Structure 1
Amino acid sequence: MYKKFYKSHKSQAALEFLTTYAWAFLVILITVGALYYFGVFDFAKFLPQRCLFTSQFECIDFSFVKDPSLSTGEIRLRLNNNIGETINMVSFEVTNDAVDPLSCSFLPLPISDWQQGIEQDIVFSGCSNGVFITGERTEAKITMKYCSPATSGCPKHTVNGKITAIVNEP
C-alpha cells in the first residue's frame, strides 16, 4: 500500500512540474510573438541604405521622396557613366518584388550623348504602389537599356541596379 501511495505522489509531482513549466513556456512564446508583431525584431530598419549598379554606372547619390499631399513619389538618382564611351539611354524600367509592384515614369526620354565620366541626374516621378510609404524602407529594381552610337547598328545593352532606401518627405 505504501509503495502505491508513494508512486502516485511521484507522478503528481512530475505532472505539476510539466504543467508549471508548460505555462511559463507558453507565456514566453506569446511575449516573443507580440514583440515580433510590433516590429521589435525587425533589424532591416538598422541596415544601411544602398545603391548597387554594375561598374559601368557608378551610383553617386540616391533618394526616395514622397510628398504627403500627393499619392505619388519620386526616385532620384545620380549616376556616373563609366562605360568608357558616349552612350544613348534607350529605356528605363522601375519595379520591385511587392505584391502590387512599384511603377514610375521617366520623362523625358531618351538621354542622348551621355559622355564618359559625366554625372547624370535621373528622376523617376509618379512612383506609386510597391510599398512606397513615407518612413518605410523600400527597394527599387531599375533596368536600364542603352546603346553606343559609335558601334554600328547601336545594339542595346541592359544594366540592372537596385536601390534600398527609406522613403522621405521633401
Structure 2
Amino acid sequence: MKKGQAAVEYLTTYGWAILILLIVLAVLFSSGILSPSYLISEECTFGNSLGCNFALFNDNINGPTKLNLDIHNGFAYKINITKVELMTQDGTQNFNGFATGVVLDSGETGSFQGTLEGSPVKEGTVKRFVGSITYVSCATELGPDCSDVEHTLTGRIVGKVIPQ
C-alpha cells in the first residue's frame, strides 16, 4: 500500500471523529460553558463568624458599579460594625459609602451598599475584591456598652457583574 493511500484511508476513517470533536468544542465555546467566567465560582468569605452574601451590579446603563453586601452575625453576642473596607485585588479601585456604626444582634443580618470608584465594570466581568470588616463586641459580659477594642476580619469577594 502506498503512503498516500494510507493517509487518505486514515483521514476518512478518523476524519469523522475529529470533525465531530471540533463541532462539540465549537458548541461548548459558543455557549459559554468553557469560558473562564463560567468556571469561576463566586464567593464571599470573612471567616466563620461573619457570613456574607453579595450582589455586584451596574446602576443603570452607564452608572457606577455597586455592591450590595449582606453580613450575617454568627457570633453568640451582639456586635457593632465600625468599618467595612473593600478594594479590587490589585488595589486600584475602592468601594465607598458603606454604612458604619451598624449594630447586629446575634443571628441578625445587616445590609450594606457601596459604590466602586472610577469607571463602571463591564457586565459579565468577573472581579476579585479583598477587604476587611472591623467590629467591636457588645457582649453583655463586658457591660451595658460596647467594647472599645476593635477586631478586624479580612476576607475576599469574587463575583460576576450582573444585570440590574
Which bracket does the TM-score occupy, shorter chain normalised?
A: 0.5 to 0.7
> Counterpart in 1 of 2:44?
51
1:167 equivalent to 2:161? Answer yes
Separation in structure 2 between the aligned mates of residue 128 and residue 70 of structure 1, nearest angstrom = 13
> Unpaired runs of 5+ in structure 2?
1-33
> Counterpart in 2 of 1:92?
84
1:128 equivalent to 2:117? Answer yes
> Counterpart in 1 of 2:21?
none
CA contact (8 A) 2:99 2:112 kept: no
1:155 equivalent to 2:146? Answer no
Instruction: Give the TM-score normalised by structure 2.
Output: 0.66
> Counterpart in 1 of 2:109?
119
> Counterpart in 1 of 2:94?
103
Over the aligned positions, Cα root-mean-square deviation in angstroms equals 2.7
SS of 2:156's partner is strand
Instruction: Give the TM-score normalised by structure 1.
Output: 0.64
CA contact (8 A) 1:102 1:131 kept: no
SS of 2:107's partner is coil
> Unpaired runs of 5+ in structure 1?
1-40
Percent of aligned pairs with the same amino acid: 16
Structure 1 residues 156 and 162, CA gap change in structure 2 (3 angstroms): same
Separation in structure 2 between the aligned mates of residue 92 and residue 108 of structure 1, nearest angstrom = 8
Give the ranges of 4+ consecutive aligned residues of structure 1 lying more than 6 Å apart after TM superposition: none
Structure with bigger gyration radius: 1
Deviation at 1:107, TM superposition (A): 4.1
Separation in structure 1 between the aligned mates of residue 82 and residue 36 of structure 2, nearest angstrom = 38
CA contact (8 A) 1:76 1:122 kept: yes
Structure 1 residues 108 and 131, CA gap change in structure 2 (3 angstroms): closer
CA contact (8 A) 1:103 1:130 kept: no
Deviation at 1:129, TM superposition (A): 4.2
SS of 2:102's partner is coil
- For 1:1-47, what per-residue CA distance to the aligned partner results, in whole angstroms no more than 9, with x for missing partners? xxxxxxxxxxxxxxxxxxxxxxxxxxxxxxxxxxxxxxxx8635412
Separation in structure 2 between the aligned mates of residue 86 and residue 68 of structure 1, nearest angstrom = 36
Residues matched between the structures, number:
128
Separation in structure 2 between the aligned mates of residue 53 and residue 130 of structure 1, nearest angstrom = 26
CA contact (8 A) 2:77 2:138 kept: no
